[in-house]
Structure formats: structure tokens, C-alpha cells
């Protein structure tokens, strides 16, 4: 009496038999036949030949038979579109059936039939069903819109279904709301630019109400939708959080994780001083821990997400270390994730426990897990300084076990410990050397060789040890060969007398007998260094190495912030932004955490050079790398800029990748990059900036020419200065200057490759700055930059970037990436590149404004030794967009009244006093008035720069 009988029809004439049964007069026989057809279908048999016969069974009052026929139709309509039309009438009729169950079933099934001709007939019934009196029909119809959109997006838009769907968000039934949100979210995913889910406080309130009442699945859709909303301030964020927190106690883990996402995201807006912030932190831990007692698959996804959460907010789970202890029968994928999180949570307080556990794991059976456990011990040592000694002794214990792979892993991590704590644990070297012979993995061999080379002076038989490796030099992997070469050179520099022969041997092996260019190059460099200047060689080879730190395995903060927005999604499982793996043309919108809100904001004061540093001291303004890195990484936290040019947003998108290491995708996208190439060259025929100058300034034009600096048109351009010396950037030298021509600000860069390897994959990114300067196009270096080659690039800039007041006001922190590394530098831009072309105020306005700005905002400066007359001054300033509004002669002194406007709309008014015809008195007096007095100093500097060059 079970369905398995449907699988046992006779092979011969199976279809024929079914056909006969389907056309039987007996209802029961018909139904049985359809069941057999369905059973065959589920196991992949082709029963499409029965299409007309099955469709004939559709006109029935028997609900089960109807459903079965519908199932069949959904499967085969695509392959029999002409036949499927036969079914349309029945569908349309069913959509009018008095039974809501049948109406819903009909509209649902119609939406699943992916045949164009059918979809045309679907529109009318669907429109009715969307407004059906029965919520069950409405909620089914809402999903149907998403289905239809997938088949024919244009049709859905033309028919106005999207608006109807939006209306359903205010439906009285929570399930209808949830389904409308789900459908809209799905549609929005394929239209990232569309404003389908335009959320405002009212709609948010409706969603939050529906959240309490709809099914668990609906809750997930609503929570995911909420997560995309940016509250207007911290109070709104808090009130949403308060209403979302009860979801943390839901039995469905997906609901819990979606709620965690909303909370993690909105928490960003709350001040840490708030009591509520602390309460929320406490509430987050228990649900996360509870996820770990669920099925292993759920645990895995939860652990991947917890890994992100503990990196972003370690305080959440800092007391929960023990729940991450590994059970021996956990699946391997759970074990490895737990281990990773244990390290992230390791601290001085719990390190003893952690180490005891790790040691236990290192004796387990699973080789991969054991290796990772040994590595984890090393990572603990590096992370928690107080534990280093304990870790080293634990590792030594493990080495004593003589289990081959344990020993090898231990040696690799001990090398890292040496690098982190130089001159502390070298006493263990002897023990390590005992195991030299058992090492057969390249990484372990390389690590051991590094240790021998680095501490050659303490190892009596270092030369013998290294020599023993040399015998099979050509069979070693490149990693080992390179390490061996370096180690022997180190040895030679430390003990030159005994090891001359050895070093010659290795140099000739590396340079003459090897096919590997890396090895050869390194060999030649050492050779030349040693032969020309042994002292320099010593400085280079035995230079103090930078310490390594725990941060190397942390997710880079920009990416982390983005991933926090994707908690619970595939992105959170892969720890990659969706742009890195989502298929095809589906647009991906980068998400970013909301910025801290105004009401609780404190003024930020980055630690940079003191205010008003003169331009000559640019390099001093470079902050330490660490600080800078931190600042740069905040870059994408800024609020979304309203209406930036298209290209700028493309650049911003790319910028996320820059520091996220996903540069390849950025570069790969270039051909599609929106209009990027057209930005590369600034407009060739720039309009002379002094076009609108008064007639009488012809003379000054001449003067301008004779002064011979800068470009013919546009504002004054300073000569290029070195911004990033090659020695600080692994051979990449960057010099540059800023220009403003015909309204376009550019950063003119000169990149020189002073390294010995080809440089490719350039990209650039700015930190937030006072005037929102940002690259308007990607940094385009068309061909790889070969050694000694130089390229000139003009990078157009926009002022649509995120704004953050810097100190000094005009400092700009820049990150440049190439295939070798990411480099940072800081420079100061002259303020006059921000003076806009329409900066001329009319006289009346000028007078009114001058009076209106309070006197305390007035700043007085002197420009010394400027032997120019009023005309010359005026015309020269005008070419840099400082406009003379009026001119008066008072007691033999020329008074110029000038105005200028910055890109951000700040007006600066100036009064300039000149004493013409008095060669002994060439100082100009400048009074500046501005509502933002802090710019005055920089405007004065701009005046001085323009007039003196």
C-alpha cells in the first residue's frame, strides 16, 4: 500500500500503459496514474510525452488530483510551451474559485511556469489576487510577483506590480508583510540601484510590528531587511535594537543570527558610554553560545560568524572561552573553526587553560587538526607575551614526542616566536638542531635553516649543518633554496674566516646552476654586495628585522566592517565580500557600518603634525604607519555621499577592495569600469582661467609669461616633490603635485620603479580628509612598470569623498598599492586647488557679507617682498580663482577687495593693501574674513605661494 509500487511498473511499454490509465474513465485510476507519473518524474525519468494526457486531468474537483497535475505542469511546461497554453483557461478559472486555497494554488502554480506566453495571461489574475480579500491569497500573490520578475522584469515594472507590492508592506496581516518584504528583497537584489525598499521610520515601525507576529521565516526576511536600514541617530538605533533583542531567544538559529546582524550593525551607532551599550553586549553572548549546541552544520556557520564577531567586538565572548573547547567527536570542520576562535579569545587571563587544551589536541589522531593545534600554540605565544615562555616549553615537550609532523610544525612556529621575541629563547636551539634530520617538509626545513643562519654565531657547527643541506641543493624547493642562500651569507658575515668556501659554493649554485630567476637574482645581489662593500652587506643582510605581531592573521578592518554587515550570509561563511564571489552581473552593493551619530560625536583629533606646518616640512607630517593605517582603514565608515558622480562611486567601490586584498577583481573589472578611461587625461584644451579678467590686464598676462612658472592656463602648479621615497616603499618612488585646470583638480604623479622587479596592479586610495578629496577614477598605469622606468600620471580628483577634518587642515593621507605591498604617505595640498571658478562675489553681496562676518573672524597677514603692482597681483590671483571684486585707491595705496569660494561652498573675503611705486616698501597686507576662520591660515599660504612664484 505504499508509493514504492509506482517504481515497479513493467519496463515494456511503460509510457503506453500510463497513457491508457490517464485516459481512463475511473477517477481513482486516473489519480493513481498521475501519481505514477509524478513518481517517475522525481527520479528523473522523462515522462514529458504524457503532457496532453496529464493536462486533460486538470479539470477536476479533486484537490489532490489538481495538485498533482499542477506539480507535473511546473516540471514540463517549459519543454512543451504550446501544450502548456491549453492549461491557461483552467488556471484563470481557478483564480476566481470561491475557495481561497484554490485561488492561491492557481496563482502560485502559474508563477512557476516559466513560459512567456503563460506569463502574459498571468497578469490579470495576479493583479486581482494581490488585492484579494483573503490574506492567504495575498501573501501567495506577493511571492508570485518575485517569480514573475525573475521571468520578465520589464513586464512586472510595466504592470505596476512593484508599487502594489510596496503597498503590501502596510498590509494588516503580518504574513503578507513578511512575504512582500521577502519578494521586494529578492527583486532588489537584481536591481541594486533601485529604491525598492525605501525605508523610513514609518515603514520601519510597521516592519517591527510585523516582526513580532509573523512566522520564523518571515522574521528572517524582515530582520535582513532591517539590517539594510540606516537609523537617523543613535536614539532610533537604540529603539530598533530594543525591539529586535527578543528575537535572540528564538528557537530558529537563522532568526537569531539575523537579529545578531542587526544588533552588531546598529551598535556601531551607539556610544560606548551608554548603559544600553553594555546591556546589549551582555545580551549577545548567550544566544551565540547556544548556537554551538545545535547540529554540527549549524555550529559551523555559527562559528564562522562568531569568528567575525570576536574580531570586531572581542568583549562579547571574552568570558566564554570554554564553549569553544573541542570535543573529540566534533566533525573536523567544527574543530578547526573552534581552534581559530580560541586563539582569538586567548588572553593573559585564560592562557593557561587554552595552552593545556592545545597540548591535549596536539596528541589527537587527526593530522590536520594536530598541525593546526601546534600552530595555535605558536600564535598564542605571539599574541600573549606573558605566555611565550610557557608556549615554548610546551612546544619543546611536543618536539620530544618525536612525532614527525608535530616536530615540523613546532619548528615552524618557534621560528616565528624567535622573530617576535629576539634574544630570549635561543637556548632551545640545541634541541631544535637535534631534529634536523627528521625534517622533510619544505616549510619546516626553511624555518630550521633560517634559525641556523640567524643564530649562526651561537651554533658551533652552523657551517656543518648548513653544508649538509647544500649537498642536495637542487632537489630542494625554492623556499628552502632561498633560505639556505640567505642563511649561508649570514653565516659568512658572522664568521667570515671559516666559511668563505661555503659561501662561494652556494653563490655559484644559486647563480650559475639554477634556473630559478628569484634565486639567481638574490644570489647576484649578495655576490655583488659582498664583493663591493662588505660593510653595506652586513647592514643589509643582518639588518634588524621588524617584529611580527598577531595582527597578521586578523581580517583587515575595512573588510571586517563590511563582513559584519553580511553576518549570516554566504559572505560571512567565506569571509569574503559578496563582490568576490557572487555570480554574474547581479550588482553588488557594498555595505558599510553606519557612522557614529551626531548627537554623541566627539571631535576627532588624529595624531599628526602640529597645526600650520609650513609646506617645506611635508615629510614631517607623515604620521607613523600604524596610526595612518588605522585612519585609512576607517575610510569606508563614512556616511554615503549624496549624489556623487558615477565614476566616483565606482572608485569608492574599488577602494574597498584595495585594502581588502581583492585587488584582482578591481583590476579585472576595469573594462566595465564606468567611464574610467575618459578620466585619465585631463581635458587637453583647458580654458584659460583669465578669460574673464578685466581688459586692462593684458600687461599682466605678459608678466605671467615672463615669470615662467606653472602652466599657461589654470592655477599655479608647484613643482613636483618627492612624497614617497623609494627606500620607504620597497623601491617605488612617488613624487607629485596638485593642479587645477578648467575646474578639474588633478593629482599629477610620477611613479618611478627603483626596485629590481616589475611593478603592476597599482591602485590608490585616500583617507578621509577635510574637503572630501577622492580619486575620481582608478589609478591607471597601463603597462607594468619595469625597473628604472618612470611614468607620469594625472589622477583626476573629485571632492565627493567622505569628509573628516584633518590636522593640519590640508593634509592628505594616501595609500598606494602595487603587486608588492601597500604603502602609505601623507602630503599637504595647496588650498588654491580648491578655489572654484565661480568664486566671484558681486559688490553688494561682498559688502554685506564682509559686515556680516564677525570681526573676531578676521585674520591679518603680511606677504613680504612682493614687488608687484595691483594689476599684476590681481591678474595673477585671478588665474588661481581669487577674484578681485573691487579696487580702490586710498592715500596712494591700492586696496583690492577679493573673494574666493572653496569646493565645499565656504566663501573667503579678502582685503589686500598694496603700496605701488614704493620700492622700499614691498610688503602686502592681507586681511581675510571667513565664517570658517580655520581656513584663513591656509588661504594666506595660498596667496603667498601664488604671488611668490
For another protein, the closer CB: 288 or 872: 288
301 touches another protein by CB under 8 A: yes
Show the site string, 466-505: x = touches another protein by CB under 8 A, - = not. ----------------------------------------
Residue 174 is a binding residue for another protein (CB under 8 A): yes
Distance CA 452, CA 465 (A): 8
# residues contacting another protein (CB under 8 A): 107
d(CA 110, CA 145): 11
299 SS3 class: helix
Cβ(280)–Cβ(245) under 8 Å? yes
Which listed range, 46-54, 71-79, 198-206, 605-613, lies at the site for another protein (CB under 8 A)? Answer: 71-79
CB of 285 to another protein, least distance (A): 9
Segment 148-167, which members bind another protein (CB under 8 A)? 150
When asked if residue 341 is in the footprint of another protein (CB under 8 A), the reply is no
Q: How far is the CB of 183 from another protein (least distance, A)?
A: 8
349 binds another protein (CB under 8 A): no
Q: Please, what is the end-to-end C-alpha distance for the chain in angstroms?
A: 100
747 is a contact residue toward another protein (CB under 8 A): no
Half-sphere exposure of 161 (CA within 13 A, CB side): 31
Q: In DSSP terms, which residues pair with 794 in a beta bridge?
A: 748
Residue 126: CA atoms inside 13 Å, Cβ hemisphere, count?
A: 28
CA distances in angstroms from 842 to 726, 850, 873, 887, listed in the order given = 49, 12, 20, 13
Q: Measured from the CB atom, is 42 or 205 closer to another protein?
A: 42
Looking at the Cβ atoms of 216 and 498, the one nearer to another protein is 216
Task: Map residue 481 onto helix, strand or coil.
Answer: helix
Query: Residue 765: phi, psi to the nearest 5?
Result: -150, 145
Q: Which residues pair with 914 in a beta bridge?
A: 894
Give the residue, chosen from 92, 281, 525, 582, that forms a contact with another protein under the rule CB under 8 A. 582
The region of 153-161, 358-366, 416-424, 620-628 touching another protein under the rule CB under 8 A is 358-366
- Which residue in 301, 380, 388 sits closest to 344, CA to CA? 380
Q: Decide: 835 and 901 in contact? Cβ < 8 Å.
A: yes
Which span sits near another protein by CB under 8 A: 125-133, 293-301, 723-731, 938-946? 293-301
- Classify residue 641 as left (phi > 0), alpha (psi -120 to 50) or beta: beta
CB of residue 257 vs another protein: minimum separation in angstroms?
Answer: 5
User: Can you give 29-82 as a three-state secondary structure string?
Assistant: HHHHHHHHHHHHHHCCCCCHHHHHHHHHCCCCCCHHHHHHHHHHHHHHHHHCHH
Q: Is 814 helix (H, G, I), strand (E, B) or coil?
A: strand
- Verify binding: residue 462, another protein, rule CB under 8 A: no
Binders of another protein in range 403-432 (CB under 8 A): 403
> Phi/psi of residue 841, each to 5°?
-95, 150
| CB-nearer residue toward another protein: 35 or 419 | 35
Which of 33, 54, 65, 797: binder of another protein (CB under 8 A)? 65
Does residue 27 interact with another protein by CB under 8 A? yes
252 binds another protein, rule: CB under 8 A: yes
Per rule CB under 8 A, is residue 569 in the interface with another protein? yes
Considering the rule CB under 8 A, would residue 60 count as an interface residue with another protein? no
400 forms part of the interface with another protein (CB under 8 A) = no
Tell me if 589 contacts another protein by CB under 8 A: no
Residues of this chain, 507-536, that bind another protein according to CB under 8 A: none
Among 13, 160, 246, 626, binds another protein (CB under 8 A): 246
Nearer Cβ to another protein (65/466): 65
Identified binder of another protein from the candidate list 24, 48, 173, 311, rule CB under 8 A: 173
Contact present, 399 and 421 (Cβ < 8 Å):
no
What string of DSSP letters covers 113-135? ---HHHHHHHHHHHHHHHT-SSH
Which residues inside 363-392 make contact with another protein, applying CB under 8 A?
Answer: 363-365
Binding mask 182-221 for another protein (x = CB under 8 A): xx--x--x-----------------------x-xxx--xx
The strand pair at 907-914 and 924-930 is best described as antiparallel
Among 33, 58, 68, 244, which residue sits at the site for another protein (rule: CB under 8 A)? Answer: 68
Judge contact between 924 and 884, C-beta under 8 A.
no
Q: Which of residues 105 and 797 has its CB atom nearest to another protein in the complex?
A: 105
Residues 794-813 interacting with another protein (rule: CB under 8 A): none
Select 80 or 945, whichever has its Cβ closest to another protein.
Answer: 80
Q: Which of 205, 249, 386, 678 touches another protein by CB under 8 A?
A: 249
Q: Which residues of 369-408 are buried (b: 16+ CB within 10 A; e: fewer)?
A: bbbbbbbbbbbbbbbbeebbebbbebbeebbeeebeebbb
The answer to the question of residue 646 lying near another protein (CB under 8 A) is no
819-878 residues in contact with another protein (CB under 8 A) are none
Amino acid at each position: 500500500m505504499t508509493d514504492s509500487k509506482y517504481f515497479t511498473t513493467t519496463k515494456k511499454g511503460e509510457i503506453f500503459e500510463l497513457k491508457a490509465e490517464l485516459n481512463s474513465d475511473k477517477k481513482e485510476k486516473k489519480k493513481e496514474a498521475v501519481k505514477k507519473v509524478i513518481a517517475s518524474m522525481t527520479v528523473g525519468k522523462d515522462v514529458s510525452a504524457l503532457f496532453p494526457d496529464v493536462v486533460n486531468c486538470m479539470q477536476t474537483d479533486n484537490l489532490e488530483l489538481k495538485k498533482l497535475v499542477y506539480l507535473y505542469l511546473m516540471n514540463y511546461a517549459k519543454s512543451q510551451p504550446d501544450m502548456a497554453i491549453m492549461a491557461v483557461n483552467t488556471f484563470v478559472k481557478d483564480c476566481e474559485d470561491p475557495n481561497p486555497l484554490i485561488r492561491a494554488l492557481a496563482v502560485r502554480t502559474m508563477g512557476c511556469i516559466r513560459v512567456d506566453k503563460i506569463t502574459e495571461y498571468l497578469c490579470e489574475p495576479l493583479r486581482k489576487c494581490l488585492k484579494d480579500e483573503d490574506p492567504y491569497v495575498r501573501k501567495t500573490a506577493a511571492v508570485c510577483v518575485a517569480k514573475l520578475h525573475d521571468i520578465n522584469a520589464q513586464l512586472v515594472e510595466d504592470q505596476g506590480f512593484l508599487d502594489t507590492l510596496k503597498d503590501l508592506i502596510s498590509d494588516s496581516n503580518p504574513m503578507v508583510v513578511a512575504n512582500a518584504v521577502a519578494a521586494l528583497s529578492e527583486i532588489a537584489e537584481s536591481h541594486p540601484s533601485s529604491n525598492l525598499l525605501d525605508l523610513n521610520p514609518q515603514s520601519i515601525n510597521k516592519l517591527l510590528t510585523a516582526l513580532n507576529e509573523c512566522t520564523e521565516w518571515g522574521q528572517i526576511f524582515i530582520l535582513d531587511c532591517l539590517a539594510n536600514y540606516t537609523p537617523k541617530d543613535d536614539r532610533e538605533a537604540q529603539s530598533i535594537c530594543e525591539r529586535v533583542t527578543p528575537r535572540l531567544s528564538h528557537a530558529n538559529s537563522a532568526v537569531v543570527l539575523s537579529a545578531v546582524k542587526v544588533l552588531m550593525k546598529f551598535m556601531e551607532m551607539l556610544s560606548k558610554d551608554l548603559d544600553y551599550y553594555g546591556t546589549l553586549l551582555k545580551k549577545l553572548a548567550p544566544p551565540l553560545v547556544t548556537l554551538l549546541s545545535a547540529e554540527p552544520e549549524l555550529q559551523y556557520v555559527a562559528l564562522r560568524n562568531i569568528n567575525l564577531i570576536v574580531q570586531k567586538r572581542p568583549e562579547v565572548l571574552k568570558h566564554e572561552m570554554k564553549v569553544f573547547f573541542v570535543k573529540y567527536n566534533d566533525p573536523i570542520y567544527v574543530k578547526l573553526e573552534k581552534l581559530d576562535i580560541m586563539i582569538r579569545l586567548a588572553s593573559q587571563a585564560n592562557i593557561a587553560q587554552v595552552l593545556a587544551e592545545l597540548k591535549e589536541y596536539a596528541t589527537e589522531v587527526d593530522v590536520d587538526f594536530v598541525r593546526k593545534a601546534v600552530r595555535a600554540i605558536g600564535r598564542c605565544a605571539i599574541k600573549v607575551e606573558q605566555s611565550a615562555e610557557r608556549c615554548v616549553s610546551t612546544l619543546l615537550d611536543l618536539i620530544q614526542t618525536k612525532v614527525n609532523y608535530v616536530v615540523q610544525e613546532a619548528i615552524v612556529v618557534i621560528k616565528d616566536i624567535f622573530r617576535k621575541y629576539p634574544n630570549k629563547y635561543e637556548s632551545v636551539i640545541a634541541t631544535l638542531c637535534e631534529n634536523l634530520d627528521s625534517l622533510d617538509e619544505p616549510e619546516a626545513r626553511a624555518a630550521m635553516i633560517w634559525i641556523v643562519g640567524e643564530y649562526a654565531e651561537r651554533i658551533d657547527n652552523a657551517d656543518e649543518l648548513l653544508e649538509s643541506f647544500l649537498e642536495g641543493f637542487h632537489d630542494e624547493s625554492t623556499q628552502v633554496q632561498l633560505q639556505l642562500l640567505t642563511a649561508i651569507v649570514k653565516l659568512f658575515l658572522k664568521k667570515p674566516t671559516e666559511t668563505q668556501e661555503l659561501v662561494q659554493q652556494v653563490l655559484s649554485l644559486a647563480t650559475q646552476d639554477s634556473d630559478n630567476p628569484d634565486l639567481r637574482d638574490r644570489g647576484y645581489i649578495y655576490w655583488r654586495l659582498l664583493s663591493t662593500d662588505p660593510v653595506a652587506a652586513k647592514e643589509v643582510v643582518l639588518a634588524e628585522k621588524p617584529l611580527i605581531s598577531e595582527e597578521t592573521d586578523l581580517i583587515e578592518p575595512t573588510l571586517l566592517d563590511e563582513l559584519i554587515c553580511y553576518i549570516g550570509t554566504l559572505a560571512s561563511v567565506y569571509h569574503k565580500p559578496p563582490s568576490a564571489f557572487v555570480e554574474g552581473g547581479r550588482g553588488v552593493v557594498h555595505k558599510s557600518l553606519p557612522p557614529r551619530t551626531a548627537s554623541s560625536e566627539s571631535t576627532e583629533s588624529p595624531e599628526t603634525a602640529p597645526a600650520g606646518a609650513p609646506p617645506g616640512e611635508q615629510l614631517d607630517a607623515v604620521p607613523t604607519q600604524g596610526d595612518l593605517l588605522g585612519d585609512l582603514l576607517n575610510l569606508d565608515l563614512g556616511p554615503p555621499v549624496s549624489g556623487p558622480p558615477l565614476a566616483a562611486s565606482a572608485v569608492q567601490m574599488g577602494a574597498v577592495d584595495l585594502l581588502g586584498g581583492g585587488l584582482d577583481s578591481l583590476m579585472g573589472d576595469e573594462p566595465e569600469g564606468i567611464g574610467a578611461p575618459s578620466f585619465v587625461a585631463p581635458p587637453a584644451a583647458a580654458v584659460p582661467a583669465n578669460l574673464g579678467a578685466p581688459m586692462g590686464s593684458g600687461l599682466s598676462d605678459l608678466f605671467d609669461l615672463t615669470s615662467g612658472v606653472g602652466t599657461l592656463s589654470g592655477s599655479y602648479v608647484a613643482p613636483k616633490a618627492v612624497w614617497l621615497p623609494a627606500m620607504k616603499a620597497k623601491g617605488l618612488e612617488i613624487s607629485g603635485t596638485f593642479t587645477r585646470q578648467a575646474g578639474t583638480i588633478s593629482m599629477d604623479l610620477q611613479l618611478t620603479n627603483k626596485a629590481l622587479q616589475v611593478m603592476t596592479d597599482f591602485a590608490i586610495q585616500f583617507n578621509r580628509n577635510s574637503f572630501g578629496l577622492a580619486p575620481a577614477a582608478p589609478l591607471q598605469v597601463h603597462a607594468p612598470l619595469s625597473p628604472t622606468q618612470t611614468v607620469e600620471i594625472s589622477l583626476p580628483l573629485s571632492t565627493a569623498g567622505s569628509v573628516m577634518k584633518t590636522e593640519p587642515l590640508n593634509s592628505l593621507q594616501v595609500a598606494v598599492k602595487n603587486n608588492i605591498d601597500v604603502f602609505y604617505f601623507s602630503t599637504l595640498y595647496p588650498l588654491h586647488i580648491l578655489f572654484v571658478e565661480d568664486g566671484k562675489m558681486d559688490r553688494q553681496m561682498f559688502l554685506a557679507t564682509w559686515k556680516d562676518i564677525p570681526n573676531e573672524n578676521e585674520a591679518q597677514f603680511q606677504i613680504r617682498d612682493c614687488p608687484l603692482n595691483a594689476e599684476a597681483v590681481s591678474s595673477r590671483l585671478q588665474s588661481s580663482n581669487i577674484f578681485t571684486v573691487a579696487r580702490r585707491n586710498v592715500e596712494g595705496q591700492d586696496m583690492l577687495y577679493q573673494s574666493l569660494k572653496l569646493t565645499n561652498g565656504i566663501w573667503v573675503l579678502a582685503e589686500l593693501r598694496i603700496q605701488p611705486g614704493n620700492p622700499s616698501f614691498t610688503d602686502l597686507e592681507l586681511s581675510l574674513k571667513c565664517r570658517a576662520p580655520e581656513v584663513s591660515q591656509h588661504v594666506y599660504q595660498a596667496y603667498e605661494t601664488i604671488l611668490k612664484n
